[in-house]
A and B are shown apart, each in its own frame.
Chain A
Amino acid sequence: MTGDTHYDLEILAELAEDLLDVSTARQVREHLAVCDPCGELLADLAAVREVLAATPTPAMPMGVALRIDKALAAEAGSRRGGGVGLAEAPDWDELMRDSPWERRAAEAPRPAGPDPDDVLQPVRLGVVSDDGNIVPARSRTIRRRRWAMPAVAAAAAAVVVGTAVASTNLLAAGGGGEGGAAPIALPAQTPPQQSQPTTPQQPTRDAVRAKSYALTDSNHNYSDPELRMSLQSFLGPAPIIGSSSGADEVAKCVTTVSRRAKLDVFAVDQGQYNGQEALIVASWKQRAAKKVRIDVVDPFSCKNLRKPSLGRW
């Protein structure tokens, strides 16, 4: 591209990131000095950053920074060769239990409410798909892979709310309605765009039973460090899959996992783990403390691809 041509957004974005070599960068800058349309594009790019920065991360729990720090710190220590494949990973439960943020979470006062740890039966929780803006943006046909993913993240808000309601139902037998939902669920900063129908219409018990977890299809290739951080940050934006598609196959694995874990699965994402197709299954370990157990399982055999780990929502 020469100085006489306009530059496309990608070049301009690379300029902004300092990715262009010196002479190209100079060329582009010289062009920008005299080309208003390209200057506009550049401003659009800068605006993207601002818009993103001004957008609250969907339902981000407080522990994110800690979690990431943890992931970063663990990075240095846990560089065991390659780690691709099914070799038993280090003892994740052990690892997580001793982690600083894990301790902190344990000490933190928990909001009132039933401790999900006490709920042993694999209950179907939460209803998600009704919330407005998380609804599938692109409908992807999932025929190929036959499971759906639990919307680990984005669904967060709705899921958590749904969960709260479900727990109420379970433990308080039939308190279908007290509005406990919103307060427990969301970190203060519910993104404005997401807040609309996030508050679920109280799911009936049947509804709760019917759809217990959110399914998403991020198709993201997860690594261990990522799974140590908030899943929400990755899955929040992932499209939620309608319960119709491949739900049976997923349900099979979800049931397997929840039996194995004796916990409530609330979100499942369809993606990859170290390049291998996988279901990322999140279940509440301690919902009030936003602690989750993360199972990474083969979508077909439902076998764990790595040792289940503790994470945070």
Chain B
Amino acid sequence: MEVSAALKRLPADQRAALVLVDMMGYSVEDAAQVLQVPSGTVKSRCARGRAKLAPILSHLRNRSELNRVSSAKGAELRDG
């Protein structure tokens, strides 16, 4: 499934948070201002949205460069 199709499956609030933060690269704080919600809310919307997208988009992870990056990030997170 492609990204835009996957995004459509999310509730609008989660989609907006992910578009701003992950796609457009805005900080959580800026996104919070634009969306008029607290930063924590943006974070949790992002988290929930990503949790929903992960199974849907996991096949994309095996694409060359994405794979490398995500693994590195994963390792970093895993090691705290």
**Residues of chain A whose beta carbon lies under 8 Å from any beta carbon of chain B:** 8-10, 12-19, 29, 32-33, 39, 41-55, 57-58, 60, 64, 68, 71-72, 75, 133-134, 137-138, 154, 191, 193-194, 218-221, 223, 225-226, 229, 233-234, 236-239, 271
A10, A32, A43, A225: the one within 8 Å of B70 (CB): A43
Contact, CB under 8 Å: B34 / A53: no
A8, A43, A51, A75: the one within 8 Å of B74 (CB): A43
Across-interface contacts of B38 in A (CB, < 8 A): none
Interface string of B20-61 (1 = CB under 8 A from A): 101111100010011110001001101110111111011011
Q: Closest approach, in angstroms, between the C-beta of A231 and any C-beta of chain B? A: 11
Q: Closest approach, in angstroms, between the C-beta of A101 and any C-beta of chain B? A: 15
Contact, CB under 8 Å: B24 / A233: yes
Q: Which of B30, B46, B47, B55 has the most CB of A within 10 A?
A: B47
A-B contact pairs, 9 of them (CB 8 A): A42-B78, A43-B70, A45-B51, A47-B66, A47-B69, A49-B73, A51-B3, A193-B3, A271-B12
Across-interface contacts of B58 in A (CB, < 8 A): 44, 47
Contact, CB under 8 Å: B8 / A239: yes
A-B interface pairs (CB < 8 A), number:
173
Contact, CB under 8 Å: B34 / A225: yes
By the criterion of a CB under 8 Å from any partner CB, how many residues of chain B are at the interface? 52
Across-interface contacts of A14 in B (CB, < 8 A): 44, 47
A46, A218, A220, A226: the one within 8 Å of B73 (CB): A46
Across-interface contacts of B70 in A (CB, < 8 A): 43-44, 46-47, 49-50
Contact A41 to B54, CB < 8 A, known contacts A51-B61, A57-B24: yes
Contact A64 to B24, CB < 8 A, known contacts A13-B51, A45-B51: yes
Contact, CB under 8 Å: A18 / B24: no
Contact, CB under 8 Å: A47 / B30: no
* Nearest residue, chain B, Cβ from A232: B19
Q: Closest approach, in angstroms, between the C-beta of B39 and any C-beta of chain A? A: 10
